[in-house]
Amino acid sequence: MPEVQAPFRSLGALFDGVATEFRVWAPAHGSIELVLESGRLKAAPTTGHEHVRAAFGLPETRVLLRDADGYWSGRFDDVEPGARYKYRIDGDPARTFPDPASRFQPDGVHGPSEVVDPEAFRWTDRGWQPPALDRLVFYELHVGTFTPEGTFAAAIGKLPHLVELGVTAIELMPVGDFPGGRNWGYDGVALFAPARCYGRPADLCALIDAAHRRGLSVFLDVVYNHFGPDGAYANVFSPHYFSDAHRSPWGDGVNLDDDHSREVRRFFIENALYWVRDFHVDGLRLDATHALEDGGTPHFLAELSSAVQAHAPRPVALIAEDHRNLNGLARPVAAGGYGFDGVWADDFHHQARVHTAHDRDGYYADFTGSIRDLADTLREGWFFRGQPSRYLGHLRGTDASPLDPRQFVVCIQNHDQIGNRADGARLHHEIDPAAYRALSTLLLLAPETPLLFMGQEWAASAPFLFFTDHHDELGRLVTKGRREEFSGFTAFTDAARRADIPDPQDTDTFERSRLNWDERQRPPHAGVLRLYRRLLAIRNGHTAWAARARGDFAVDVLDDHTLALGFVRGPWLVVARLSGGAGTVHLSVTESIDVALTTEDADVVEAPQPIVASGGTTLRIEFTRPGAIVMRETPSPGLFRPRLSTMSSEGALTMAKKKTPHPPDSTSTSAAPRRRTTRRSSEAPPESVAIAADSNVDLPELEPTRDQIAEAAYQRYLRRGGQGGQDFDDWLEAERALRARR
């Protein structure tokens, strides 16, 4: 397969400030005409036939010319942005269709396309540097249900909430236009056109620009494995977009390795570059890459990642959704991989779901949900590494060790895992709130890259249901198919029970999925939100979660319900009891412990049942119900350097340290013996971070590093009692200032 030499722009209506060039791929047709239906021309024609047509508001037709590869094009200096147009195939008025690479569909996917000026928006993100990959915390959202208005513009008003929360990257569900006014986005058919129900292209630019001003990256979910069922006109212009050589869940596979596949690959690669170039997105998440079958060389995914790397004006991250657990997805192209930066790793979600909610239908049958298997998944990145899958009927997965922890994107909720449930129930709707808080702690402090789904940070009451807005005939089929797909599930073997599954076509199904932002301020939602903010402030403010490697953390099973996660840097220790009611666990430490937070703090839960930590080198932690405790071993700053964490032979997680001597004439008070903490330490940590010196050499005054300032803020928080309120708000304010500096 010859590699596509992707240009910056070639498909669609391309306005360059002087003229508009139209270009469409239609190799099997004898003629393609441009039909200008309405809009802006620089000057109305004044003579002849064109004058008569313009006077009566009739469409104007222009001839396009064909090249050797089947592309039809024409350049017209009198067509300006705002002009609306279609293409006519083989002179047949009944075969006049929108542009498959349209930049905007103001009247829906069946209406005329609109010429858009890509330079009209005035960006303010010059010099923008997105957070490093190891600092990503994703927040997945659906534009239509994220706010009451459901628009790009309205989403801008919620960006301060996301900054205060502590996420660093927004992941937008697909925004390519789709039929009707309600859709998840995976039925997209106009892949270059932001959905008109969310706003105009400039509104999406404004959202991304505003996110960058607030220090937030923006990733976009794109779908290249199929087109939606209604309004996909690409295949009308060329029959080569699909091939029966491969099958997918949606029918014939996208043609990536058959005749004419070079131009099909080019179409999707140009789409990826379009979002990066014209909309300044910082990354792309590719939907269901396992459905992109390609027997050619290079593989389409490797070619796409190479093209993005070569042609993007700045570094862009690529994330794959792929259930195969292939390490090659995230290995460099030069090393035989596909060059992606990360992969959605659902095994963590599945193990956690089985452990806490006891799901057994479908792919959950492959997972035990045992605390040992959950710990193994957390330790490795994914659970299936070549074992047989009963659900799939074949071996699944590859060795996870070639990948860094940050390359695995993990979650306890996402659009699929909620919306693909019959009732759209979120995890916190179905499990003990105490277990949800404990599992949230484990997610947000995991060595992998966490992803949140909108609203989970306050345990939103709204479900996220599957919704569509197709025409009546197709809509009836969608409703029927939606209900029939659950016939194999234990709870829905009865047809009457399946009839109760919400109708995707019902407007109420969509409206019920909107977030209720007012509830954030009320219990119990406010307490959960407070917990999420604290956990992310810890993650963002400390080096334990920076440049994470496999040797930087350890995971241990303490009993059938409880595991410990320890980080060498910091060092931090998380003990999470996910089930089982009351229980006591023991583990070994080598330094005194400060308790940073628990999921039973008084301002997190209305009727707290305290988690008690006591003891010396052997910690005793008592739970009365599921919960989590976050601790930090706190020798005086600058007096130790962490090394590899190890497991003790008894299975207790031990954090080993290497001491360095005091500098001569040190006035540090940490040389005095310090008592072990039973709950929170009453010691007053230093107001600022000390920097260890190995000699008496005078050092120049240096601006504190980001981590030193964050550490100082954290120590002030501990000194004030660590109970939240204004004290914690001070910490958050310091952390936001750090992020603004970054």
The rounded distance, in Å, linking the Cα atoms of 631 and 613 is 10
Strand partners, 397: 385
**How many residues comprise the chain?**
742
Classify the phi-psi angles of 247: left when phi > 0, otherwise alpha if psi is within -120 to 50, otherwise beta: beta
Rg of the chain in Å (alpha carbons)? 28
Q: Is the dihedral of CA 640, 641, 645, 649 positive or negative?
A: negative
Burial label, 524 (beta-carbon count in 10 A; 0-12, 13-18, 19+): middle
- Cβ neighbors of 305 (< 8 A, separation 6 or more) are 318, 333, 338, 339, 340
**Beta-strand pair 583-588/646-647:** unpaired
Residue with tokens 């916190």: 428
Does residue 287 carry a catalytic annotation? yes
CB 604 within 8 A of CB 528: yes
Name the strands in the sheet holding 612-615, side by side, starting at the edge strand that comes first in the sequence.
Answer: 583-588, 618-623, 612-615
> With contact defined as beta carbons under 8 Å apart, do 189 and 230 qualify?
yes
Kindly give the pairing relationship between strand 449-453 and strand 138-141.
Answer: parallel
Is 601 labeled as catalytic in the residue annotation? no
Here the tokens at position 462 are 């709204």
* Given 321, 322, 503, 552, the catalytic residue: 321
Residue entry with tokens 């008003």: 157
Active-site residue, from 287, 346, 366, 735: 287
Is 561 in a helix, a strand, or coil?
coil
Residue 381 CB burial class (10 angstroms; 0-12, 13-18, ≥19):
buried
Q: Please choose, from the candidates 159, 160, 190, the residue with its C-alpha nearest in 3D space to the C-alpha of residue 174.
A: 190
Element (H, E) at 303: helix 300-311
Dihedral pair phi/psi, residue 659, rounded to 5°: -85, 150
Cα(first)–Cα(last) distance of the chain, in Å?
Answer: 43
Question: Residue type at 450?
Answer: P
Question: Do the beta carbons of residue 232 and residue 178 sit within 8 Å?
Answer: no
Residue 202: which of 123, 100, 93 has the closest Cα?
Answer: 123
Catalytic residues: 287, 321
